[in-house]
Amino acid sequence: MTTKYFCGISALFLAILLAFTISATAHDDVNSHNIFKGMGDASRALMSKEGYGRSVFTLYVNLDVTIINESGKKAKQEIAGKIGTAFIVRDDGFLLTNNHVIDAGKMRKEYSKKVRELYSTLAPPQRVTLRFKESYKAVDSSGVTFLVSVFKQSDSIDAAILRFEKIDPSRKVFILEDESESLFSPIAVPGSPLGIPNMIGFGHIARAALDSACGDNKEEYLLFMSSLNPGNSGGPLYNLETDKVNGMVTAYLLSNGGNSMISCAVPASSLIKFLDKNLPPRKG
């Protein structure tokens, strides 16, 4: 009797649970569909030519190298590499990126090592002097290339201002907004992870207070949840609710050698101060 009663109650419970699960699953599928559709719509709007698609750039560095051997003979070579992301912050040709993005020191060091090793194998071995000249270019989502130069680097935050030699002023400008009111807001991260242009990731701002967990100095960062890769650095942290930028992507934290999904941005409040202090007055 007890066993039958238990089985009967279990069967009824399972029937109710199954009916509820089917209903809930269907409901979740609808919600999931709406969420992903919304993200897709937001991505298309963000990266369209009418939106900000022409205002996010893949950055490249060119290193023109002059190699001078002991007898004074010169050889020249050009090295190029994809280094990160930048975005327009003023319609007269100014962009933002990270300081560490435009630092070509690692490329110089690696190339110098290879060249010196090569010359050391000659008979007799030779010492060489290397001279580097850096130049930068920015490539938009349509593949159009622009020459850019370093206008100003910050000595307190991981930020640098670049300037176009020539730019179409019709391109949309990303507007920076203080991050203090953006807690838990959904964000999009357009950029060039692993050197692949026109990529966009999603996530949300994860913490109310700024945190120094992302660096060794006293600089404080805005923490957000999103998967990043090398090449995302310098991209805008675009708030999908406000159509404003709450920070600039700069790093991600590692856990046991893997991406922890906890990412770091230079907060917009710091970027606004940096721009206000260093951008020149508008002409006219």
**Predicted confidence (pLDDT) at residue 277 exceeds the cutoff of 90:** yes
Q: How confident is the model at residue 25 (pLDDT cuts 50, 70, 90)?
A: very low
Q: Are strands 74-90 and 222-225 parallel, antiparallel or unpaired?
A: unpaired
194 three-state secondary structure = helix
Report the CATH fold assignment for 179-278: Thrombin, subunit H (2.40.10)
Contact call for residues 65 and 250 (beta carbons, < 8 A): no
Judged against a pLDDT cut of 70, whether residue 28 lies above it is answered with no
- What's the mean pLDDT in 87-91? 95
CA dihedral (165, 170, 171, 177) in degrees, to 10, reads: 110
Evaluate whether 56-164 and 179-278 have a shared fold.
yes
CB 267 within 8 A of CB 220: yes
The least confident of 16-30, 43-57, 163-177, 239-253 is 16-30
pLDDT score of 11 more than 70: no
Q: What is the pLDDT of residues 135-178, one digit of tens each?
A: 999 998 888 899 999 999 999 999 999 999 887 778 899 999 99
Confidence of residue 248 (pLDDT cuts 50, 70, 90): very high
**Degrees, nearest 5: CA angle 237-230-180:** 20
CA-to-CA separations, 177 to 19, 170, 267, in angstroms, rounded:
47, 21, 9
Tell me what the mean pLDDT of segment 260-282 comes to: 91
- Mean of the per-residue pLDDT values for the chain? 81
Please determine, for residue 87, whether its predicted confidence score (pLDDT) is greater than 70: yes
CATH for the 56-164 domain, from 3.30.420, 2.40.160, 2.30.29, 2.40.10: 2.40.10
Query: Could you give the CA distance from residue 58 to residue 55 in angstroms, rounded to a whole number?
Result: 10
Could you tell me the two tokens for 239?
């708030």
Mean pLDDT of all residues in 72-95: 91
* Exposure b/e, 55-84, CB count within 10 A at least 16 = b: bbbbbbbebebebeeeeeeeeeeeeeebbb
Give the C-alpha separation, 227 to 263, whole Å.
Answer: 7
- Annotated domain spans of the chain: 56-164, 179-278
Residue 23 in this model has a pLDDT that exceeds 80: no
pLDDT, tens digit (0-9, with 9 covering 90-100), for 196-234: 888 888 999 987 777 877 766 678 899 998 888 888 999
Strands (E) across 112-257 are located at: 129-139, 145-153, 160-164, 186-191, 199-205, 222-225, 236-239, 244-255
Q: For the residues 245-257, what does the mean pLDDT come to?
A: 83
Query: Which of the four pLDDT bands, split at 50, 70 and 90, describes residue 182?
Result: confident
How far is residue 263's CA from residue 241's CA, in Å, rounded to a whole number?
Answer: 20
